[in-house]
Structure 1
C-alpha cells in the first residue's frame, strides 16, 4: 500500500510524513512507510483517527484501538497467462451508480464512488442490459497491479462470469508488462481454489484491520 500511495497512485493520496491514505471518496485504506515505527503512526493521526490498513502483521502503538481484523491471502499471477473476453465491456463514470448497486448486492469489499479512478474496470451485462458482474484494478505499484472488486450478482453466480472478468482484467495488466495480484479472505476456500485454477499462486498471508485513535 505504501508503495502505491508514495508512488504511482500518489495523485490519489493525502500524505503526511511517513503516512498516507487514499482520498476518502476513492478508498478507505491508509498506509505507513514502516508499520513498526510509532512515528509513522503519529503522522497518521494528522490524516485520520480511523484507519484501515493491510500488511503481513499490524500491531499499533498505544493510543490506537483495534476495531476489526480479518485474515487474508495475497496471490500473484507470476506465471499466468490470460486473455480478453468478448462480452466484457469497459465501465466508465456513467456506470458508477450501477456499479455501486452491484457492490451492495454482491459485497466484494470496499468500493466507493471514485474507486473507478484507480484503473480499468470491466463488466458483463445480462440480456436485459443489467450490470451483473464486474472486476477492475485497484492498488498499483511499479510492476504490479491488483485485480479487485471481482463480484457477480447472486442471481447470476455459478456461470463463471467472475473468473472470465478476472482473466480479462489480468490480461490488460500483463499487456502493460506488469504482473497481476489479488487478495482473498483466508477462509474463502472456493475463491482461493478458483484463483489457483486461473493461474494465481499464494504469495503471502496478510491481515486487513481497522483501528481507531483514542489518544
Structure 2
C-alpha cells in the first residue's frame, strides 16, 4: 500500500486501473478511538478490534500515514472518492482473476511480509542449534518473552531477539487488539515496551546470579 501511494504521487502518467493491489486480508485503517471511527463513517470493527489500554481501533493491524489515507479513499469511507488509477483485488481460493492480473502486469512488487533472519547459534559442542526460525512458512524467532526458541519451541537461556519478524505479539500490559493474528513490527514497540521486557529479564538474571553463587 505504501508503494502504491508513492507511485500515485509520482509523475508517471498512470491511466485508469493502472495499479492493482492483491491482498489477502481486509484492509484496516487506524483510528485513535471508536468515536473517531464512527464520526468518520467507519464501522467495520468490533470490541476485539479495540486495544483495551489505548482505545485505538486496529492498533496493530491497521495502516497509518499515507497508506491509511489511501485505504480510506479506496474503501470510500466518509464519502471519499476512490482513485480511478488504483483498484483492489482480494485474493481467495483458486483465483484465476489474480493470475490474469499478474500475467498482464508490467511490474510486480512483492510485499509478502518478513521471515526472521536468525544468526547461527552454537552449543558447547560446537554444533549449530536448530531454531524455530529455520522452519518453513511463517516461523517465530522468539516466544512471548522475546526469548529465542529452538526447533522444539524451548527458550535458549540468555538469548533474546527483537526486530522485524521476530514474532513477538503484544498482549496483556502491552496492549493491542485481541483480534490481531500477525507479528508486531514497530520501532516504538521495540524501543519501549518490548525492549523493556528484555531489559527486565536481563536485570533479573544479574540479580539472581550472585544469589546462586552465594548459595
TM-score normalised by the chain length of structure 2: 0.26
Structure with larger Rg: 2
TM-score normalised by the chain length of structure 1: 0.26
Q: Which has the higher contact order (CA 8 A, sep 6+)?
A: 1
